[in-house]
Amino acid sequence: MTQTHRNKSYRDIKQVVMERMQNGVWSPNSILPSETDLAAEFSSTRTTVNRALRELADEGYLERKRKAGTRVLNSPIRKAKFIIPTVEDEVKATGASYRYSLVERRVQDAPKWLASRLELTPAQEVLFVRCMHYADNAPFQLEVRWIVAEVVPEVLTENFESSGPNSWLVNKIPFTNLEYSLTATKSDAEISEFLDAPIGEPVLTAERITWLRGAPVTHAKLYFAPGYRLTTHI
């Protein structure tokens, strides 16, 4: 008889499912019990079970099909998992001390270019934040960010005077989809002033857009000081 678990979170359920797959309780190509049955076993909700199974599917361990159920994959698919780090963690990982400074914060209607980029209405309210991140008091990153207030209304009560929107979003708001691009941008007078770089010098620029269940959360442009090195592990 299957042991009954109590008050399991989606993380707990993920762990149990992984253990059962690794121990051969649910062998490759086998079909898992229904979400209803698993919810009853774990004294949880179908929503919680769904999240656990969905994440395992996203990570390449399960295959989910409507009407066919959830199947254990014979050979787990390795997928690249993108984790958004906080700038503070990036700086401290280099051994430097971190400092943050708010440059500008304002609430306004979405500008036309942003409304077009994120499929917003021009009258949709957004929060604009521009801030600086420093490593040992030297410029590290200029962050220019727009946050959609309708999707994240609690952001309107945040002043971001002591810490930036990057860490706030990472810790408070999950994302389900992400678009990330890297380019070399010639620094204009404003970027050069913030990053202490010569005008016209190429700087690594990251554009990042995140969505939550199809709704756009934030658009950010991150300008890195000359000498920044991007390293990723998969």
Each residue of 193-204: pLDDT tens digit? 999 999 999 999
Q: What integer pLDDT is reported at residue 2 of this predicted model?
A: 46
Residue 19 confidence (pLDDT) above 70: yes
Dihedral angle over CA of 90, 141, 133, 95, nearest 10: 30
- Listed range (74-88, 114-128, 180-194, 213-227) with the worst mean pLDDT: 74-88
Domain 87-224 has CATH 3.40.50.300: no
**Mean pLDDT across 71-92:** 76
**Can you give the residue ranges of every domain in the chain?**
10-72, 87-224
Q: Residue 229 — very low, low, confident or very high, per pLDDT cuts 50/70/90?
A: confident
Q: Which residues contact 104 (CB under 8 A, 6 or more apart)?
A: 128, 129, 130, 131
Task: Catalogue the long-range contacts made by 14-20 (C-beta closer than 8 Å, 24 or more residues apart).
Answer: 14/52, 14/55, 14/56, 16/42, 17/52, 17/53, 17/56, 18/56, 18/61
Q: Which residues contact 182 (CB under 8 A, 6 or more apart)?
A: 204, 205, 206, 207, 230
Residue 212 confidence (pLDDT) above 90: no
Residue type, 189: A
Cβ pair 178, 208 in contact under 8 A: yes
Give percent of the chain with pLDDT exceeding 70.
92
Is residue 53 classed as helix, strand or coil in its secondary structure?
A: helix
Cβ pair 45, 74 in contact under 8 A: no
Average pLDDT, the chain: 88
Assign domain 10-72 one CATH number from 3.30.300.30, 3.40.50.10680, 1.10.10.10, 3.40.50.700: 1.10.10.10
pTM here is 0.67
Per-residue pLDDT of 160-211, as tens digits, reads 999 999 989 987 887 778 899 999 999 999 999 999 999 999 999 999 999 8
Is residue 226 classed as helix, strand or coil in its secondary structure?
A: coil
